[in-house]
Structure 1
Amino acid sequence: MIRKSWLRYLFIGFLTFAIVWNSPIVLLAGIVKNEPKHKQAQLLLKTGRAQLNRDQPAEALKTLQDATKLYRQLNNQEGITKSLVYQNYALQQLGLHFQACKKLIGALKLNDSLCEPSILPTPKTELEKLKQIIQQIPLTPANFLALQSLGEVLRLNYKLSESEEILNQILISNSIFPELSSNIVLLLGNTQRDIYKRIKQQYQWIDEPLIQDIIINVIPQKAESALLNYQAIINKSDTSISTKLQAQLNCLDLLIDFQEWLKDQPRFPDIQTRISQQIEPLISEILQETLIFESLSPEQSVQARLKLVNSLSKLPKQQMRLQAINYAQDAWQIAKNINSSKLKAKSLQMLGDLEPEKSLDYFETALILAQSVRAKDIMYSLQAKLGNLYQKQGKIEAALQAYGAAVNSVTSIRANLLSSNADSQFFFYEEVDPIYRNYMALIAKSTAPNYDLIAQIHEQIQTAELEDYLKCGKLELVALNKIKNSNVAAAIIHIIDLSDTILVIVKSPGKPSYHHSVDASKVRNPVNTLLELLQDPKLVLTNESLLKFHSQAIYQQLIAPLESHLPNAGTLAFVLDKSFQSLPMHLLHNRQDYWLANHSFTGTLGSKIPIPKALLKQQMQALIAGLYVPSPSLNDSQAPQGAAVLPQIKEEVEDVKKLTHSSLVLLNEEFTSKNFKQKISKTNFPIVHISTHGQFSSDIQRTGFLAYDRQINIVEFDSLLRNKARISPGRIELLVLSACQTAKGNRRSALGIAGVAVQAGARSTVASLWLVEAKSTVLLMQKFYLGLNNGLTKAEALRQAQLSLKSNPKYNHPYYWAPFILVGSPL
């Protein structure tokens, strides 16, 4: 009896080994080669599901693809759909959420565009169309599974509105599978939780107070919608054990996160009290049901335990920390038993965070495990943690190596995260930015600082921030110091915020880098005060001596110590950090004159620009769009606050037309979003001049310009210009955005301006940081285009135009001439 039992288990073990290590076709050939195709397909489907449960997504994907082939041969639609759904699960485990979404779209025969990432909110009309399409899909078992999976994968692709719409629809129409409704409610709660997180994070990274006031009241509504769904599942008697546990863990995570946010929001005291009272009872309920964790598969058990650990670790009580350590140790033991390197690494990372006295050993071991399976999503975090530990221990060389490795790891995965999951929107400011900045600060404090390396990292972080803002993937730009024509810029100046210090690095062609640092406290106050003055609607009434006082203070602290290392003339290219991005650097004053007197200026994208090319006289052909009559777009929800008719634009448009050749003009009613898109797509103009209201915001949804009918967002601008690029290779040499402005309170306007420039594919962009009196803008544009006609570079033409305005007694206040800046190539 014992021998038979032993032989039986040996055979099962051998079969399991074969399933894991051999392809399904080999398995079928060896065991079921004589079975009919439908049996083969069923076995492949079963095998693929088993591989998914064993955390073998790559093997499962191959198995399930073979199953799909057989089901297609059999013309079995239910089998095709089901196998595609499980392929989607495999792709999700591999982190390929976009490809997973495509599988489900194919299974349900929906429009491919549903999976396409978009950072703009989905119009209500599109959501209504989606609702009607979903209602027409017959709810067979396979279709139900596919729709449920689609709701989840759309969440992971950050299509949250679409995810919520689909899950709501199948929940409403689910009379066939009522026993599965709890799972749908769980997925709906997860989507609503991510909507809450998105809005909360948006509130944190948006600078403008006006937008923050709009957003702040929506955050509690979205959090409580998700909490209600989680609590409905928890309280439902027939909810499965695993679904209930997931709801409890997600509910706890959200309650703790929401409580933390409410601490800084005094306007919601009642909500804060109610939320705080729910946390400890829920923890007690979870801890009392320890057998629930044992009922899960080993992989699911580890993930669930680590999720609980993550929540408990955020609470201040020592008892909670001890419970977290126990659960993390259990997770580590289970991960060891199933020999999952990735789960072992995650468990050790958690233990390292919880037990600082042992963290070095935990993190080092976890990193080796993560490296063994190339889990870069874990590696970068561990490398950064080790860098911090080594630094505290005085092991500066080891710390530098660890941070350098973290930067390399995060750089290699960041492009894939830009549009791949719900966390990508928060990834830059929470994860990427601190790693880069800690690395730069550590290099600066080392015994032999490499300032060229700091400048290089600063370039990377600036470009990374813009890519994250645009969600556009990798940008094709060239570093200024790599351009063969070394006279593009006389010097590149980096101004870097390292928290306690501000570091300034000057790089001139053929010369070694030079640097200077200053205590940040000496700079922040004059910078913040000057920005507030410049963004005040009453700027024109502000005494110029007050502006000079603060601009002189900034110049003396940041620039004066470097004067001997700066050229006497030529173009200065600036790579500006954080709040410095909204400062027009030519406005700085050296106690004799404004800096504009000696230099022309350009802002760059991490000191990177499209390949520079001079604008030739024969290229002075322009597409000119202008709006100077009352229009529906003035009431657009995204229009700048207080936008009004600008009649002087008519004169500006006429002047630009005279100073360019063969220009095409779209005015007022002709300047609709549709007409503009058609003209810019079908014609090739080196210059695009847009005279209309627009604004640059830290919220990309509010960055764009007004056509007659509505706002054209820069994401739309990008889309139509990409279409143009496929038809014609001609690049926009110069984009001029006249009458645009920086949204009030925005300290990162360069993101919006650089974003427009990049989305337009423009070598150079001229824009204004605040809305200027229209008559002075007409004069400035006259001089600017005259300078271009006379062969001046764009940077020098803009400088001469500003100097001309400044010399006019009527317009010598900085309000009139200072807001105009150039971004990109100065040539």
Structure 2
Amino acid sequence: MRRTTFDGASLIPNRNGTKKMISFRYLFKYLLLGILGLYIAVSQPSAILAEVASKQAQQHQAELLNEKGQRQLNQGQAAEALQTWQQATKFYQQLKDTEGITGTLINQSVALQAMNLHLQGCKILVKALKIDSEICAISADLSDYSTKRLVESELEKLQKPISVHILGLKNLGNVLRRLGKLSESELVLKKTLLIAQQLPNFDTSGILLSLSNTEKSIYQQARDRYIWIEEPLFKKKTVNFIQEQAHQVLNDYQSLIDTPRIPIAIRLQAQLHRLSLLLDFQKWIKAESNLGNTQLAGIQSQINQQIRPSVEQILKIYSAFSELPANQSVYTKLNFANSLNQIPDEQLHSVALQYAESALQTAKATGEQRLMSNAYGTLGKLDKQQVRSRTYLEQAMSLAQSIQAWDIAYQWQWELGRLYRLSRDFEKANQFYAAAIKNLDKTRSDILLINSDIQFAFKEKVEPLYHEYISLLLHLGKSSKAYLKQAIELQEQLNFAEVENFLRCGRFLEASVNSNFRHPIEDLPAIIYLIKLADRVEVAVKTPQDIYRHTVDFNLVEQPLDNLFELVQNLDFIDTQSSNSLIYSQTVYQLLFEPIKQYLPQSGALGFVLDSYFQSLPLAMLYDGEQYLIDKYNISVGSSAKQLQQSLSQPTETLISGVSQISPSFYNPIVPKNLQPLPQVKIEIENIKKSNPSTSTLVDAEFTSQSFKQINENNSFSVIHLSTHAQFSSDIEQTFVLAWDTPLNVKDLKFLVQNKSSLDLLVLSACQTAKGDRRSFLGIAGMAAQAGARGILASLWLVDAESTIQLMSKFYDGLKHGLTKAEALRLAQLSLSKSDKYFHPYYWAGFILVGG
């Protein structure tokens, strides 16, 4: 279950609040109003006296509403609290009370965040603070790098902020973290701390807690991305960063815990966060040690020694849980229970159940169904007795469904699917897995867009649901091929969810890429699906007549695949003897493709739908003992069968943009160092123009971000060819194309979709994948989706410039003579592979066509 944290969602205090200084301000205001009222009663007409009395009443009503909203939120009634604070804002607006307006808007944001509406909460906060709303933008044209610069600029505008502004800034830092904008969150919270430290007697513990939580998220982000890094030096650098970040955050939490006279709620939350980080770091270190990293053994021992004392410290202040407002008490108890359950100790497991049961009683007392659903669901996950576990989970699911809380309903249905699968009741397991997928789909745009926990742990918190259900469907598929068809459709759905998560753009509609194309379409005679599950690889072949399946033990294929991936990613690949590369590629072919060979056509077109494990596999160089795959087949890769439909694409309106010299964009912080100029770009452009004279060009200083956008706004190109350095990565901020003045981030291409252009093909020459990143295919697919391109031609590694000129020239010649994109690419690759100079796979095997 997703951890819910309450790290300083400070509200503007009311008359019964703890902030004495602010309450005194209101008392002083009443005193002034009373004196003023006495003066007016003597010297002014009765109409003015009535007006003053009315303002006093409005002021009193606004404060009563503030108090009411606070009580409602504390009871978990976030929606009701939001409405109450909206009413309070209206009173303050009538009174023209600027500080009151700001405070109630901040309160509204807190309520929205409690409802998991973080994006709306962010927008309310920037309105309260009078700063640019683009700070909250996720899918806007601004990259995260640009957004960070915007945050810096906006924070500089704040002049002598008062206490209410500090509360707003702290909450802004919190909500930016929950939106996954970690560098921006860190920046805001550090600025907030600096301002608060300049005010006398201001308690900064809540800000320090928020900042530590953001630093913890930065650790989690690095740890999750590390899973896909394979290049040794980059991997070592990331390991060092993860360790340093974890130790620093653990120390920050401990410093906060040791601070005298901090509020008990802050101390408790710091202890809980520190414990969860200890457990997470321990798990990561153990996994790394099992993979052979012996240097972590000493660190593992240090971390293990800190876990028990951390638990004991929390158990000693049990009463602190009860001092929290009801909603915070429920979530903190559940978080502690989940942490205790990760420790292999039966006694602590019993304590975890006690805390979860206590949370349930508190939740029942509030009557709030979301709180009760979370408590029942946690009990269902913790209880080892299957009958009780099912009962708890069914109650949790029912409550979540009754309030349409699909973001938690799918979690309980997932757990029920697991339980029924373990008990071999496959039909019921099928029902619950299907319901979980359906409810995840309902809320997927919100979960992937505005939930940083999911953004940074997609592989752990979303992908397993799909893979478990695919595995179940394949088991059921032994008796019915309808289940097999459903399994491959589910893999396609997972592929699109991954692209959405990469783009952080909400729902990505496949139709937006495949619509409005005038070229005839032909179906592929065979589509191959490669799906990696926990212990095996599933290979499925879909033809117009039937679906066929082959299963391979993962232990057999893992090492040959790793060898092949390592070979092609190595900078010395070009110097590797072709015979050595044939050994790896032939082994992979024999394991995965030889058993399904009988279901494939003798030649023609093949489409591939690959899960994330296989997406950087150089399919063209797979070898059957006599021929490469490319010798017989036109190959295209897509996220789904629909995306692979082949189209005839004779380029008409074409735009070619390129950078041949070192330009200002080379010095951008996100761009790898030591990139070389590309003098061959001009030759490549001239060769392409020979195949298509009606071509527009932007070369070197002409190719700025603004000129590129402007020319596309004024024209509708069917082909855009970018001959410049580009990089693809599973990290959206490391995926870009270099214009003359700046890198074009993936988000910078969104205007192509917004202009409803009929972009049939996007070609990226001189591109490469990010260092050691096996999931870099996501960058290619994401760029195609963001640009609205039907197809994208790119390479998995940085290839030779001169050979690329020849390949691109042959490719465009093929399109000119009426070939499909896949046919044209195949013939271009064959022209190199059969040549005396460029026969090595390094020169031609990295090019892939994504889409049709």
Distance in 1 separating the partners of 2:721 and 2:365: 66
In the alignment, structure 1 residue 758 sits paired with structure 2 residue 785: yes
Matching residue of 1:435: 465
Distance in 2 separating the partners of 1:628 and 1:179: 56
> What do residues 604-648 of structure 1 show as CA deviations (whole Å, max 9, x unaligned)?
1233439975434xx523222223334455555544566323433
Matching residue of 1:18: none
What's the secondary structure of 1:735's corresponding residue? strand
Matching residue of 2:803: 776
Matching residue of 1:348: 376
What's the secondary structure of 1:762's corresponding residue? coil
In the alignment, structure 1 residue 498 sits paired with structure 2 residue 533: yes
Structural mapping, 1:706-785, within 5 Å: 706-718=738-750, 720-722=751-753, 725-726=754-755, 729-785=756-812
Matching residue of 1:364: 394
Structural mapping, 1:514-529, within 5 Å: 514-529=548-563
Structure 1 position 823, deviation (Å): 0.9
Structure 1 position 113, deviation (Å): 0.8
> What do residues 543-594 of structure 1 show as CA deviations (whole Å, max 9, x unaligned)?
3333333333333332333333323343221101233212232322333422
Q: Call closer, same or farther: CA 1:255–1:526 in 2, change over 3 Å.
A: closer
Matched to 2:502, the amino acid is: Y
CA contact (8 A) 2:512 2:788 kept: no
Matching residue of 2:479: 448
CA contact (8 A) 1:206 1:698 kept: no
- From 578, 597, 600, the equivalent of 1:563 is 597
Structure 1 position 203, deviation (Å): 2.1
What's the secondary structure of 2:437's corresponding residue? helix
Root-mean-square deviation (CA, aligned residues, Å) is: 2.9
Matching residue of 2:185: 163
Distance in 1 separating the partners of 2:181 and 2:570: 37
Structure 1 position 176, deviation (Å): 4.0
What's the secondary structure of 1:226's corresponding residue? helix
- From 573, 593, 600, the equivalent of 1:539 is 573
What's the secondary structure of 1:356's corresponding residue? coil
In the alignment, structure 1 residue 86 sits paired with structure 2 residue 116: no
In the alignment, structure 1 residue 487 sits paired with structure 2 residue 522: yes
Matching residue of 2:24: none
Distance in 1 separating the partners of 2:175 and 2:416: 33
Q: Runs of 5+ in structure 2 lacking a partner?
A: 1-52
- From 635, 642, 655, the equivalent of 1:623 is 655
Matching residue of 1:325: 353
Structure 1 position 286, deviation (Å): 1.8
Distance in 1 separating the partners of 2:684 and 2:843: 15
Q: Call closer, same or farther: CA 1:178–1:274 in 2, change over 3 Å.
A: farther
What's the secondary structure of 2:204's corresponding residue? helix
Q: Call closer, same or farther: CA 1:38–1:631 in 2, change over 3 Å.
A: closer
Distance in 2 separating the partners of 1:146 and 1:112: 14
Q: Call closer, same or farther: CA 1:540–1:207 in 2, change over 3 Å.
A: closer
Distance in 2 separating the partners of 1:411 and 1:580: 24
Distance in 1 separating the partners of 2:124 and 2:174: 13
What's the secondary structure of 1:623's corresponding residue? strand
Please give the TM-score of this superposition, normalised by the length of structure 1.
0.88
Structure 1 position 686, deviation (Å): 2.0
Distance in 2 separating the partners of 1:804 and 1:405: 51
In the alignment, structure 1 residue 823 sits paired with structure 2 residue 850: yes
> What do residues 309-358 of structure 1 show as CA deviations (whole Å, max 9, x unaligned)?
12211222333223222222222232233333333332333333333124
Structure 1 position 531, deviation (Å): 2.4
Q: Call closer, same or farther: CA 1:479–1:648 in 2, change over 3 Å.
A: closer
Structure 1 position 666, deviation (Å): 2.6
In the alignment, structure 1 residue 462 sits paired with structure 2 residue 486: no
Matching residue of 1:146: 168
Structure 1 position 391, deviation (Å): 1.4
CA contact (8 A) 1:479 1:607 kept: no
- From 59, 68, 72, the equivalent of 2:93 is 72
CA contact (8 A) 2:564 2:581 kept: yes
What's the secondary structure of 2:227's corresponding residue? helix
Q: Kindly tell me the number of residue pairs found equivalent between the two proteins.
A: 784
Matching residue of 1:10: none
Q: Give the fraction of aligned pairs with identical amino acids, expressed as a percent.
A: 41
Q: 146-155 or 731-740: which moved more?
A: 146-155
Structure 1 position 232, deviation (Å): 3.3
CA contact (8 A) 2:521 2:646 kept: no
What's the secondary structure of 1:581's corresponding residue? coil
Distance in 2 separating the partners of 1:641 and 1:111: 33
Structural mapping, 1:114-513, within 5 Å: 114-117=135-138, 120-121=144-145, 125-134=149-158, 136-139=159-162, 141-174=163-196, 175-176=198-199, 178-263=201-286, 264=288, 266-267=294-295, 272-357=300-385, 358-446=388-476, 447-449=478-480, 450-478=483-511, 487-509=522-544, 511-513=545-547
Please give the TM-score of this superposition, normalised by the length of structure 2.
0.86
In the alignment, structure 1 residue 585 sits paired with structure 2 residue 616: no
Matching residue of 2:839: 812
CA contact (8 A) 2:666 2:675 kept: yes
> What do residues 155-207 of structure 1 show as CA deviations (whole Å, max 9, x unaligned)?
22222223222322232222446343222222222222222222222223444
Matched to 2:107, the amino acid is: Y
Matched to 1:477, the amino acid is: E
Q: Call closer, same or farther: CA 1:522–1:481 in 2, change over 3 Å.
A: farther
Matched to 2:484, the amino acid is: Y
Matched to 1:492, the amino acid is: I
> What do residues 279-318 of structure 1 show as CA deviations (whole Å, max 9, x unaligned)?
3333222212222222223332222211211221122233
What's the secondary structure of 1:502's corresponding residue? strand
CA contact (8 A) 2:606 2:635 kept: yes
CA contact (8 A) 2:454 2:461 kept: no
CA contact (8 A) 1:672 1:707 kept: yes
CA contact (8 A) 1:496 1:503 kept: yes
What's the secondary structure of 1:792's corresponding residue? coil
Q: 316-325 or 302-311: which moved more?
A: 316-325
Distance in 1 separating the partners of 2:393 and 2:581: 51
Structure 1 position 408, deviation (Å): 1.3
Poorly superposed stretches of 4+, deviation over 6 Å: 32-35, 479-486
> What do residues 85-110 of structure 1 show as CA deviations (whole Å, max 9, x unaligned)?
11112111111111111111111111
> What do residues 481-516 of structure 1 show as CA deviations (whole Å, max 9, x unaligned)?
99997624222221111232222222223x222222
Distance in 1 separating the partners of 2:55 and 2:573: 85
Matching residue of 1:36: 57
CA contact (8 A) 1:556 1:590 kept: yes
Distance in 2 separating the partners of 1:630 and 1:80: 52
Q: 123-132 or 661-670: which moved more?
A: 123-132
Distance in 1 separating the partners of 2:741 and 2:513: 39
- From 718, 732, 735, the equivalent of 1:703 is 735
Distance in 2 separating the partners of 1:42 and 1:747: 56
CA contact (8 A) 1:612 1:763 kept: no
Structure 1 position 268, deviation (Å): 5.4
Structure 1 position 436, deviation (Å): 0.4
> What do residues 518-548 of structure 1 show as CA deviations (whole Å, max 9, x unaligned)?
2233333332222222223333333333333
CA contact (8 A) 1:84 1:107 kept: yes
CA contact (8 A) 1:479 1:609 kept: no
Structural mapping, 1:569-648, within 5 Å: 569-609=603-643, 614-616=648-650, 619-634=651-666, 636-640=668-672, 643-648=675-680
CA contact (8 A) 2:234 2:772 kept: no
Matching residue of 1:665: 697
Structure 1 position 397, deviation (Å): 0.9
CA contact (8 A) 1:418 1:424 kept: yes
